[in-house]
A and B are shown apart, each in its own frame.
Chain A
Amino acid sequence: EVQLVESGGGLVQPGGSLRLSCAASGFTFSDYAMHWVRQAPGKGLEHVSAINNNGGSTYYANSVKGRFTISRDNSKNTLFLQMGSLRAEDMAVYYCASSRVRGVTPNWFDPWGQGTLVTVSS
C-alpha cells in the first residue's frame, strides 16, 4: 500500500523553527519528486515547496523562500521541511505529496499524506 506519513508539527512561537518529516512506503521513493502543500485553517491549498527525485533541484513558493528548506533522504525514504522564521501566516496543515515524476516540473499530486498541523502563536 502506498503511504505517506507526516510528523513533526506542533506549536511554535513566531520567529521559531520546526522540522517536518514525511515517511514514504509502498513505492520507490527515490524515483519521484516530492512536495509540500499547506492549507491554512478554513482556507484553500498552497503549494509550498518541491524537490526532485535525487535532491538536486528544489522549488520554493515566494511566500517561504529564504525561510524554508526542503530535503530528502532516499536511503530512509523520508522527506523533510525545515521551517524557520515562522510567522502567523505559516500556520496551516502541511501535507506531503508525490507528483509521480522525477523532476520538479508541475504535475498532479498523488498520493498525499494525512497532514501535520503547524501552529504559530505566542
Chain B
Amino acid sequence: DIQMTQSPSSLSASVGDRVTITCRASQSISSYLNWYQQKPGKAPNLLIYAASSLRSGVPSRFSGSGSGTDFTLTINSLQPEDFATYYCQQSYSTPVTFGQGTRLEIK
C-alpha cells in the first residue's frame, strides 16, 4: 500500500495568513493526488483533484501543486471558515489511501 504522510500534523495561523500543507507519498503517484477539507462533525469535501485542479465552487485562494511524491496545498489569505482539518488522498493505485490529516487552528 502507498503511505501518505502529511506535515505538519497541526498548525496555528491567523486570518489573512498564507499557509502551506505538505503531503508526501511513499512512492511516485504522478499527479494522482487529491485534497479534502473536513470541519468538525461534517463529511470531507473535495477541494483539489489531480494535484492542482480546483473543484468547481471552491474559492480560488486554495491551490495545489506537485507531482511524483511531493505535493502541497496552499491557502492564501486565510478566512475564518478555512479553519478545519485537511486530508490528502492518493488515487494512483488500489487501495486508495489518505494522509493522517492536518488540523488548521486559529492562532
Q: A27 in the interface, Cβ–Cβ < 8 Å?
A: no
Say whether A106 contacts B43, CB under 8 Å.
no
List, in ascending order, chain A residues with CB within 8 A of B94's CB. Answer: 59, 104-106
Is the pair A47, B96 in contact by a Cβ cutoff of 8 Å?
Answer: yes
Per-residue B-contact encoding for A64-102, CB less than 8 Å = 1, 0 else? 000000000000000000000000000000010000000
- Check B46–A109 contact: CB distance below 8 A: yes
Closest B residue to A6 using CB positions? B43
Contact-residue size bin, chain A (C-beta under 8 Å from the other chain): 10 to 19
B46 touches A106 (CB 8 A): no
Q: Are A110 and B55 in contact (CB under 8 A)?
A: yes
A45 lies within 8 A of B95 (CB): no
Q: How far, in angstroms, from A108 to B58 measured CA to CA in the complex?
A: 15
Among candidates B32, B42, B44, residue contacting A106 with C-beta atoms closer than 8 Å: B32
List the A side residues contacting B87 at CB < 8 Å.
Answer: 44-45
Task: Flag if A46 contacts B44 (CB, 8 Å).
Answer: no
- Tell whether A61 is near chain B: CB-to-CB under 8 Å: yes
Do most interface residues of chain B lie in helix, strand or loop, or is the interface mixed? loop
- B45 at the A interface (CB under 8 A): yes
- Which chain A positions have C-beta within 8 A of B49? 108, 110
A residues apposed to B, CB below 8 Å: 44-47, 59, 61, 95, 104-115
- Given pairs A111-B46, A112-B43, 14 additional interface contacts (CB within 8 A): A45-B87, A45-B89, A45-B98, A47-B95, A47-B96, A47-B97, A105-B94, A106-B90, A106-B92, A107-B91, A108-B46, A108-B50, A109-B46, A109-B89
Would you list 30 pairs from A and B whose C-beta atoms are within 8 A, ordered by A residue? Answer: A44-B87, A44-B98, A44-B100, A45-B44, A45-B89, A45-B98, A46-B98, A47-B95, A47-B96, A61-B95, A95-B43, A106-B32, A106-B90, A106-B91, A106-B92, A106-B93, A106-B94, A106-B96, A108-B89, A108-B91, A109-B34, A109-B36, A109-B46, A110-B45, A110-B46, A110-B55, A111-B46, A112-B44, A112-B45, A115-B43
